[in-house]
């Protein structure tokens, strides 16, 4: 087993421990009389026998979980279960479950402890690490949320054996993003393990190397800049255009980010920031993971006959983006594999790019 034992020290002194370990082992480590589990119905059906014996609250599956209505329902169940200040919320699921449950816990009684047991690759390599929690509002992703670190993250890669290929590929998008950010040996590892078809998955050992590598890369950014005032913004690579694609296409988060990352590469190429060979290297890795590498590719993957509606939706999302500063957008753009910078791009140029890009 690849080692993984990361401690993220959050603002306010909270420490988040991220480690590998079997999900059933949590039973012995938690006070089950004070713990409530938040999950979705599918995960409970497939992995419920490994859950610690605590009350279980089911939320909706997928992005629908990240709504104010789900949040209110969750608060209602916390009240019924008399979840007190000494309680703990354990989110077992993908990024939607952990984003919602983390936000609910971090606001319940002004904030109680919570832990994550991620069950998707995307949640292991990204959503469970870093303390960003939240829900969507009026069609805009993550508009309402908190920075609050989970007390622990328990990574059990054996849970991924039941994950559908499309969800596995979605997680690989964030892995590719980390590979572009870190470059060097991690890019080579991911390229060696990205199977060419979604059906070929890395074996357990390789999977643990990927999860550990990505979790470490993300944790390093978070430790340097928990509140995203500077360096952490680089983790948004691919998300500026990706969020627009996700909101309008219904594609999984990672597929949208992959198309957003490839688009960011093309934008950087057009701005003279990224060499064509580097752009190709990144795009090839995205495609090797079975992910869309353009806006048109995302439209096709979503079954949208005409990509123009998608481009219009991306334009709407860009104008409402949190990273907008007046007439400019702060964007993470690659300059090479292993080098990403934050640039101010005029919104007008970005909107033209979205209309014209492949
Ligand atoms: N907080 C952060 O820093 C952060 C970072 C990246 C992404 N996110 C958020 O994460 C969300 C996406 O998360 P996700 O991709 O995990 O999606 P998800 O939570 O919707 O899970 C995807 C699907 O897989 C199913 N599933 C989960 N685990 C399974 C398993 N082991 N076996 C079989 N099926 C399983 C779920 O029921 C669901 O239908 C987005 O809302 C995104 O905004 C948050």
Alpha carbons 335 and 180: distance in angstroms, whole number: 10
> Is 253 tagged catalytic?
yes
Question: For residues 284, 288, 294 and 299, what is the CA-based torsion angle, rounded to 10 degrees?
Answer: 170
Q: Are 29 and 22 in contact (CB under 8 A)?
A: no
The pTM (predicted TM-score) of the whole model is: 0.93
Does residue 235's CB lie within 6 angstroms of at least one atom of ligand 1?
Answer: no
Task: Tell me, yes or no, whether 18 and 154 share the same domain.
Answer: yes
Q: Are 286 and 257 in contact (CB under 8 A)?
A: no
Burial of 321 (0-12, 13-18, 19+ CB in 10 A): buried
> Is 232 tagged catalytic?
yes
Angle (CA) 11-235-188 rounded to 5° is: 125
Give all strands (DSSP E) within the chain, no chain letters: 5-9, 15-20, 35-40, 56-59, 88-93, 113-118, 132-137, 140-147, 152-155, 324-325, 328-336, 339-346
Query: What ligand 1 atom has the least distance to the C-alpha of 121?
Result: 16
pLDDT of residue 1: 44
Does residue 226's CB lie within 6 angstroms of at least one atom of ligand 1?
Answer: no
- End position of a domain, from candidates 121, 141, 162: 162
Alpha carbons 49 and 339: distance in angstroms, whole number: 44
**Mean pLDDT in each 10-residue stretch from start to end of the chain (358 residues)?**
76 82 94 97 98 97 96 98 98 98 98 97 96 91 92 96 94 97 94 69 91 94 82 92 89 96 97 97 95 95 85 87 82 97 93 93
Q: Which domain holds residue 314?
A: 165-356
- Site to probe by mutation for ligand 1, drawn from 37, 60, 96, 236 as the one with most ligand atoms within 8 Å of Cβ, is 96
Q: Are 279 and 357 in contact (CB under 8 A)?
A: no
Q: Whose CA is nearest to atom 34 of ligand 1?
A: 163
> Is 236 tagged catalytic?
yes
Number of domains in the chain: 2
Measured from the Cβ of residue 211, the count of other Cβ atoms closer than 10 Å reads 25
Nearest-CA neighbor of 187 among 118, 257, 288? 288
Q: Please report, for the domain that includes residue 46, its CATH number.
A: 3.40.50.1970
- End position of a domain, from candidates 122, 139, 162: 162
Tell me what percent of the chain is helix, strand and coil, each rounded to the nearest 5. Answer: 55, 20, 25
Alpha carbons 275 and 279: distance in angstroms, whole number: 6
Measured from the Cβ of residue 224, the count of other Cβ atoms closer than 10 Å reads 10
Query: What ligand 1 atom has the least distance to the C-alpha of 133?
Result: 1
Q: Whose CA is nearest to atom 20 of ligand 1?
A: 62
Does residue 246's CB lie within 6 angstroms of at least one atom of ligand 1?
Answer: no
Task: Tell me, yes or no, whether 108 and 128 share the same domain.
Answer: yes
Question: Roughly how many angstroms between the first and final C-alpha of the chain, as a whole number?
Answer: 41
Distances (CA, A) of 132 to 126, 149, 176, 193, 285: 10, 7, 20, 28, 27
| 166 CA to centre of ligand 1 in angstroms | 11
Does residue 95's CB lie within 6 angstroms of at least one atom of ligand 1?
Answer: yes
Alpha carbons 321 and 342: distance in angstroms, whole number: 15
pLDDT of residue 199: 52
> Is 110 tagged catalytic?
yes
Does residue 90's CB lie within 6 angstroms of at least one atom of ligand 1?
Answer: no
Which helix (H) or strand (E) is 201 found in, with range? none
Does residue 66's CB lie within 6 angstroms of at least one atom of ligand 1?
Answer: yes
The DSSP bridge pattern shows strands 15-20 and 5-9 to be antiparallel
Task: Tell me, yes or no, whether 316 and 342 share the same domain.
Answer: yes
pLDDT of residue 31: 95
Task: Tell me, yes or no, whether 43 and 129 share the same domain.
Answer: yes
Q: Whose CA is nearest to atom 35 of ligand 1?
A: 163
Task: Tell me, yes or no, whether 177 and 318 share the same domain.
Answer: yes
Task: Tell me, yes or no, whether 222 and 101 share the same domain.
Answer: no
- End position of a domain, from candidates 126, 141, 162: 162
Strand order in the sheet with 56-59: 5-9, 15-20, 152-155, 113-118, 88-93, 35-40, 56-59
Alpha carbons 263 and 328: distance in angstroms, whole number: 18
């Amino acid at each position: 087993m690849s080692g993984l034992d990361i401690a993220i020290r959050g603002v306010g002194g909270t420490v988040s421990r991220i480690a590998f370990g079997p999900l059933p082992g949590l039973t012995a480590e938690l006070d089950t009389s004070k713990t409530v589990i938040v999950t979705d119905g599918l995960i409970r059906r497939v992995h419920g026998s490994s859950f610690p014996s605590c009350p279980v609250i089911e939320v909706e599956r997928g992005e629908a979980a990240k709504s104010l209505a789900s949040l209110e329902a969750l608060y209602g169940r916390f009240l019924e279960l008399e979840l007190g200040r000494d309680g703990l919320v354990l989110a077992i699921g993908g990024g939607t479950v952990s984003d919602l449950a983390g936000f609910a816990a971090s606001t319940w009684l002004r904030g109680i402890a919570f832990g994550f047991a991620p069950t998707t690759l995307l949640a292991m390599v990204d959503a469970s690490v870093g303390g960003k929690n939240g829900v969507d509002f009026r069609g805009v992703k993550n508009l309402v949320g908190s920075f609050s670190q989970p007390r622990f993250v328990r990574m059990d890669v054996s849970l991924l054996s039941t994950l559908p290929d499309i969800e596995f590929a979605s997680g690989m998008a964030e892995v590719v993003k980390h590979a572009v950010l870190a470059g060097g040996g991690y890019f080579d590892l991911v390229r060696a393990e990205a199977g060419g078809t979604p059906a070929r998955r890395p074996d357990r050992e390789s999977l643990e190397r990927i999860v550990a590598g990505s979790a470490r890369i993300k944790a390093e950014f978070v430790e340097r800049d928990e509140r995203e005032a500077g360096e952490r913004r680089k983790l948004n690579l691919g998300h500026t255009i990706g969020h627009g694609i996700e909101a309008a296409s219904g594609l999984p988060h990672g597929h949208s980010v992959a198309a957003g990352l490839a688009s960011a590469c093309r934008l950087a190429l057009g701005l003279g920031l990224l060499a064509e060979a580097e752009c190709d290297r990144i795009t090839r890795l995205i495609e090797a993971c079975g992910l869309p590498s353009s806006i048109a590719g995302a439209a096709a993957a979503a079954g949208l006959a005409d990509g123009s509606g998608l481009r219009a939706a991306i334009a709407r999302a860009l104008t409402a983006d949190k990273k907008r500063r007046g007439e400019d957008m702060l964007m993470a753009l690659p300059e090479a594999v292993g080098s990403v910078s934050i640039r101010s791009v005029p919104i007008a140029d970005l909107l033209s790019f979205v209309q014209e890009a492949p």
